[in-house]
Amino acid sequence: MMLRLAPALIVILLVAPILAGLAMALLPAFGYLPVLGGDSLSLAPWRALFAEPGLWRSVAISLASGLIATAVSLAVVLLYLATATGSRLDRWIRRLVSPLLSIPHAAAAFGLAFLIAPSGLIARLASPELTGWERPPDLLIVQDPWGLSLIAGLVIKEVPFLLLMSLAVLPQLDAERRIAMARSLGYRPTLAWWKVVAPSLYPLIRLPVFAVIAYASSVVDVAMILGPTLPPTLAVSILGWFSDPDLDKRFLASAGAILQLGVTATALAIWWGLERLVARLRDAWIARGGRCRGETGLHVAGKGWILLITVIAFAGIGGLAIHSVAGFWRFPDALPDNVTTSHWVRSLPSLAGPVASTALIAVVSTLLALALTLATLESEQRSGGATTRALWLLYLPLIVPQIAFLFGLVVVMEQLGISPTHALVAFGHLLFVLPYVFLSLSEAYRRFDPRWSRLALTLGASCNGVFWRVRLPMLLAPILTAMAVGLAVSIGQYLPTQLLGAGRVTTVTTEAVSLAAGGNRRMIGVWALVQACLPLLGFVIAIGLPKLLWSRRRDMQGAP
Amino acid sequence: MNVTHRLELRDICIQLGDHVLVALDTEIGPGEVLTVMGPSGSGKSTLLAYLAGFLAPEFRAKGQVLLDGHDVSSLPAERRGLGLLFQDPLLFPHLSVSGNLRFGMPQASTDKAARVEKALANIGLTGFGDRDPATLSGGQKARVALMRLLLSAPCAVLLDEPFSKLDTHLRHEMRRLVFDRLRQAGLPSLLVTHDAEDAEDAGGRVIDLSH
């Protein structure tokens, strides 16, 4: 009975807060919020919003960085997949890219900042021999007004995401046979991939691509670290207005939140138009039937870009580590004069609380998400494998910009008299953890050979017995992986923690991001490194535990 | 295992849309093996799915499945008392060999360990209890799967081409073992296959669905 309610429960849990949040952003955006004395509808918040200096520049940067970061990430992933042949280099790249997915956005952004800043590692390595710089140049590289470093920071994180999403669906396409067929018709291998595999792959990763656009056009934490400042991106501006001690600014912030919704919707619409255009060009290109031209270029680009991005991401994490133990470090020197543990020793007392909060919130939201996911998938199995249609709503929290509905949600919670606690933050995280846990587990669960459960039933096991004694243990590895993904998503959340916690719930992520303004690199190094390592712990357990448990069961070793 | 069982299939008719796939009216006595033959697509797997309780919702089925006189066609699969032997041995990869054998044993049964030991000795696998099923040979796996079925004390058995994936030299030996044991246990069995040799070795009546 309870099981049958699970899909409906998931849908309500995800949709209700988003709708309530959007409604409570929409009303104040038109001046209605009785608590703050707004009891009639007006356009005043919008007039105030449009009077903000630099607003349109903020909007343009949000829109452009969202679209460009997505286009570049998608291009890098497709270029790589087109040349991937399962060689040793390819396996090596894949193994390196997967852990990148677990690194929180903020930590990756700090890593990149430490690398490319005027006094960063790259400048140090090249100075003074190549550049002639004896002191850090006066260049605005990080937080550049065009948002280029912001785009770079987003690409580093979105490439692993889109790559893993693509790798998950590729087996359905039987790419090898398609390419073999095209090659037998005279096409060079990389071109063959672009012409016979890519057109079928794209529709399968379209929703994740949309999620990337929505995320990149409305991100807050990465934009606070790498994005422009005068003016910042729209999402960062909105957060500023919302946190303003002048409560009247909340009306302005609400109008901004609705504008952000429009900006993200516009970005999606532009992308949709680009899809049409690219599809036309592609059809013409395929119809022309060229078999060799462009092969070499495509082939070289395929490995080059993804390697560059992977190396940058890891170098960034390395940079965090060096900074966290750096003693005195003169500018053009590539390495610090001495190594010290003092930054760590000094941070330890203040680390304990936020680490505990982070872990608690992550574990609670992940366990809830896992229970709901398993209940939904199990009820699907028992009702004969019919998937609930409404489950596309799972993507809603990934497509609607966080900043657009979280304010409204905070207002709703204030009105309901629910105080900002760890439980409320964990509930907020659940909105984003649940979709990822579901998406990473559903494939394995639905593809699980139905003969196992039939066999178990004919041997007399009950439906519950089949779940506990057969499905759960046999799917242990994907379940643990889904949990690790859930933990990573929760650990990386900045905005829900900041807003729903009202500053009273501090996690490693909120602390690290708040250090960005201070610019103390040693401290940032410590906190960002802790933030990057926490999710890895989950993945180590997810990979290690099944190996340990099933060390004497050979057929449980591989991926199920 | 000396109780005798009887499986009656009364006016079974399975349809896909308006097309009648299988129509059958017969009964299988204790220790008897009835073979249902037919090429792929003839509906023989659908018949098994229906009897075992896994019929896909797009099919419509009428008729009664009587096991020892009781109609089981409305019971869920786990309470029908019908054992199933698949093409693959399907030993649970997360359990040991004896874990697999224990899986289907009725919970009330006493001296489980002793019965598992006896069953292993019975198929020439004494001392294999703690082994990982993945380390067994194809023939050994098939024998464990058969024993697991028998230990679950079914009242009748459905066989879904259980020999088709075995090597030729094992096939004959395995057929003899399976049919002997089923007969000894006095179980009515229904075998679906497309292999005429299976039917021959089973030695019972044959219903050909291709006619």
What's the one-letter identity of residue A455?
A: L
A128/A126 Cα distance (integer angstroms): 6
Question: Residue A191: its pLDDT value, please?
Answer: 87
Question: Residue B33: its pLDDT value, please?
Answer: 92
Contact A458 B103 (CB under 8 A): no
Instruction: Reduce the DSSP state of residue A168 to 3 states and report it.
Output: helix
Residue from A382, A459, A554 whose CB has the most chain B CBs within 10 Å, to mutate: A459
Lowest mean pLDDT among A86-90, A488-492, B45-49, B178-182: A86-90
Contact A554 B57 (CB under 8 A): no
> From the list B56, B84, B132, which residue is nearest A554 (CB)?
B132
Chain B neighbors of A480, CB-CB under 8 A: none
Instruction: Reduce the DSSP state of residue A278 to 3 states and report it.
Output: helix
Question: Residue A560: its pLDDT value, please?
Answer: 40
State ipTM.
Answer: 0.90
For residue B51, name the pLDDT band (cuts at 50, 70, 90).
Answer: very high
Contact A473 B94 (CB under 8 A): yes
> From the list A457, A550, A552, which residue is nearest B77 (CB)?
A457
Tell me if chain A has a CB within 8 Å of the CB of B59: no
- How far is B80 from chain A, CA to nearest CA, in Å? 8
Contact A553 B78 (CB under 8 A): no
Contact B77 A469 (CB under 8 A): no
- How far is A447 from chain B, CA to nearest CA, in Å? 16
Chain B residue with the nearest C-alpha to that of A459: B104
pLDDT along chain A (560 residues), means of 10: 79 89 86 75 83 88 94 94 82 82 90 84 76 73 83 93 88 86 86 89 92 93 88 90 84 91 95 94 85 78 86 90 81 78 85 92 96 91 72 85 89 84 91 91 88 91 91 92 93 91 88 83 89 90 88 73
Question: Residue B85: its pLDDT value, please?
Answer: 92
* HSE-up of residue B61 (Cα within 13 Å, Cβ side): 26
Q: In this structure, which CATH number among 3.40.50.300, 3.40.50.1000, 3.40.630.10, 2.170.190.11 belongs to the domain B7-95+153-208?
A: 3.40.50.300
Contact A555 B134 (CB under 8 A): yes
Question: B159 pLDDT exceeds 50?
Answer: yes
Q: How confident is the model over B7-29, as pLDDT tens digits?
A: 999 999 998 888 888 888 999 99
Question: Residue A371: its pLDDT value, please?
Answer: 94
Contact B78 A457 (CB under 8 A): yes
What number of C-beta contacts closer than 8 Å exist between A and B? 68
A279's tokens: 């599809």
Chain A neighbors of B103, CB-CB under 8 A: 456, 459, 461, 469
With an 8 Å Cβ cutoff, the interface of chain A facing chain B consists of: 384, 451-452, 454-463, 465, 469-470, 473-474, 476, 550, 552-556
State which H helix or E strand residue B140 sits in: helix B138-151
Give me the residues paired with residue B62 across strands. Answer: B13
A387 DSSP 8-state letter? P
> From the list A458, A470, A554, which residue is nearest B92 (CB)?
A470
Question: Residue A114: its pLDDT value, please?
Answer: 87
Instruction: Quote the pTM value.
Output: 0.88
For residue B211, name the pLDDT band (cuts at 50, 70, 90).
Answer: low
Question: Residue A559: its pLDDT value, please?
Answer: 47
Question: Residue A214: its pLDDT value, please?
Answer: 94
Question: Beta strand pairing status for A32-33 and A38-39?
Answer: antiparallel
> From the list B78, B88, B134, which residue is nearest A554 (CB)?
B134
* CB neighbour list of residue B202: distance below 8 Å, 6 or more residues apart: B33, B35, B175, B179, B191
Q: How confident is the model over B119-157, as pLDDT tens digits?
A: 999 999 999 999 999 999 989 999 999 999 999 999 999
